[in-house]
Amino acid sequence: MPRHPRVAPAAAGLSHEVYSALALRARERPGPVYPLHVGDTWLEPLPAARAEAQRSAEHPRLHGYAPVQGEPALLAAILRRLAARHGVDVDPACLQVMPGATTGLAIVVGALLAPGDELVVPSPFWPLIRGIAISRGCTSVEVPFFTRLGERGFDPEAALERAIGPRTAAIYVNAPNNPTGRLLPAAAADAIAAVARRHDLWVIADEAYEDLVHAGEHRPLWRRPELAGRTVVTHTLSKSHALAGARIGYTHGPPEAMRAVRALQFHESYCAARPMQFAAAAALDGGDAWLAEARAAYAAAGRAAAAAVGAPPPEAGTFLFFDAAPAFAPGEGLSGFLERCLDAGVLLTPGPACGRDFETWVRLCFTAVPPDALADALARLGAVLRR
Ligand SMILES: Cc1ncc(COP(=O)(O)O)c(C=O)c1O
């Protein structure tokens, strides 16, 4: 059947307004609008890791292609980091530098799932994973999870088990979690491992916030020996090292998965930006003190934001996720509430972007703007919440 002027169904099912349908209106509004709807970090990166610190004199053909697997200097820095942080010697052949975790996860999903397959996604979740599944012709099956941890009677294994069907191919787990700021308790990790093994599923472990833990201990799923052969892990420097615009991440996993990941990356993006691979290597090699300071600043921001909205402080990450229903005006829904927040100068993410069960919830990024701006944004938001 002729296609023009229709576009592909998978693309037609996607929106670029996931984080806020109000962002365009925000631009027309007089006065400041604090963009707490997109996950970002306001700090400048370590000086050696900035774009302007990369020089052709040091790296001949700085702006040429990099090897598809990654620049040797960055691959070496990543292997050092994985060994130092996790005591794990990842097989160098099973490591792949990616142009950011968003592309990386699209590639991983494309490498592991076939069109028509289902991806189980414990919710609430990072808003783009649902669209990534759609873009690959797959379906995400949402399982309310992170907001239910600790709830009396909640059985994580039974909840996941109910989501498994004949087309389930993988479980995507992002912990520390965007948007809840929660770590994965051992019982929940046990449940994921049991279900993945029982049904022979891949596990896609998204470690975007591994370096931003504010309280408690993060025990990465991928370190569990019983999951080693079935877990593909993605990491990014976007949040940890304030390098979101650099678009650098990396992935590792079992050889058969990584061969497919590399082949797909070869065809979809070839390589990550070469100058920023040198920047990322500098961040990983020399950025530990910078990271400790950044983490402390973000943790303080998280506590301030939690106090302002009456939520518990986040265990990790850069977000708060809370039910805003008590602050709705009579007859008002989530969109009306979000408009009132915008009128007050604050953009928030609608909860349904993170899962269909969160119709009255909102996500707030507390690291998107510097402390003074955050204080102003929180005061404005507090006035809306107290109505
Ligand atoms: C959980 C999670 N995964 C992946 C990403 C994508 O990161 P990147 O900037 O490397 O594409 C993000 C970014 O917000 C995230 O929060």
**Complete domains list, the chain, with CATH:** 9-44+289-386 (3.90.1150.10), 57-286 (3.40.640.10)
Q: Is 102 in the pocket of ligand 1 (CB under 6 A)?
A: yes
Phi, psi of 356 (to 5 degrees): -70, -15
For the chain, the straight-line distance linking the first and the last C-alpha, in angstroms and rounded, comes to 55
The predicted model gives 311-315 an average pLDDT of: 97
Q: Does the Cβ of 121 fall within 6 Å of ligand 1? A: no
Query: Which DSSP string corresponds to 310-352?
Result: T-PPPSBSSEEEEE-GGGPPTT--HHHHHHHHHHTTEE-EEGG
Q: Which atom of ligand 1 is nearest to the CA of 238?
A: 9
If one compares 11 and 300, the residue with the highest pLDDT of the two is: 300
Angle among Cα 249, 252, 254 to the nearest 5 degrees reads 160
Query: Which residue type occupies 1?
Result: M
Q: Residue 118: CB within 6 Å of ligand 1? A: no
Which of 103, 146, 236 for a ligand 1 pocket mutation test, highest count of atoms within 8 Å of Cβ?
236
User: How is residue 187 written in tokens?
Assistant: 């019982």
- Bridge-based pairing of strands 118-123 and 139-144 is parallel
- For residue 106 and ligand 1, the question of a CB distance below 6 A is answered with no
CA dist 277 and 280 (Å) reads 5
Closest ligand 1 atom number to CA of residue 174: 1
126 CA: nearest ligand 1 atom:
1
Is residue 129 very low, low, confident or very high in pLDDT (cuts 50, 70, 90)? very high
38 lines ligand 1 (CB under 6 A): no
The pLDDT, as a whole number, for residue 387 is 75
Q: Give the model's confidence band at 23: pLDDT under 50 very low, under 70 low, under 90 confident, else very high.
A: confident
Structural contact between residues 346 and 381, judged by C-beta atoms closer than 8 angstroms: yes
Residues 6 or more apart whose Cβ sits within 8 Å of residue 57: none
Indicate if ligand 1 lies below 6 Å from the C-beta of 126: yes
Confidence of residue 381 (pLDDT cuts 50, 70, 90): very high
What is the C-alpha to C-alpha distance for residues 376 and 354, in angstroms, rounded to an integer?
A: 26
Query: Residue 137: left if φ>0, alpha if ψ -120 to 50, beta else—which one?
Result: left
> Cβ(238) to ligand 1 under 6 A?
yes
Task: Give the residues across from 142 on adjacent strands.
Answer: 121
Give the HSE-up count for residue 200: Cα atoms under 13 Å, Cβ half-sphere: 2
**Which atom of ligand 1 lies at the shortest distance from residue 177's CA?**
1
> Does ligand 1 lie within 6 Å of residue 174's CB atom?
yes
pLDDT tens digits along 1-14: 778 999 998 898 89
Q: What is the pLDDT of residue 3?
A: 86
CA 272 to chain centre: 18
Q: Is the CB of 236 under 6 A from ligand 1?
A: yes
Q: Is 344:32 a contact under the CB 8 Å cutoff?
A: no
Q: What is the pLDDT of residues 141-184, one digit of tens each?
A: 999 999 999 999 999 999 999 999 999 999 999 999 999 999 99
Atom of ligand 1 minimally distant from the CA of 103:
11
Cα radius of gyration (the chain): 21
Residues 195, 160: contact at Cβ < 8 Å? yes
Query: Considering only CA atoms, which residue is closest to atom 2 of ligand 1?
Result: 208
- Cα 279 to ligand 1 centre (Å): 18
Band (pLDDT 50/70/90 cuts) for residue 224 is: very high
**Cα–ligand 1 centroid distance for 106 (angstroms):** 11
The 8-class DSSP code of residue 6 comes to -
Name the DSSP class of 213.
B
Encode burial over 226-250: b for 16+ CB neighbours within 10 A, e otherwise.
ebeebbbbbbbbbbbbbbbebbbbb
- State residue 17's pLDDT score: 83
Ligand 1 pocket, 69 CB below 6 A? Answer: no
Residue 16: per-residue pLDDT: 84
Nearest-angstrom CA–CA distance, 387 and 365: 22
Q: How far is the CA of 246 from the centre of ligand 1 (A)?
A: 12
Q: Kindly report the protein residue whose alpha carbon is nearest to atom 4 of ligand 1.
A: 101
Q: What is the phi-psi region of residue 118: left when phi exceeds 0, alpha when psi lies from -120 to 50, beta otherwise? A: beta
Atom 12 (ligand 1) nearest CA: 208
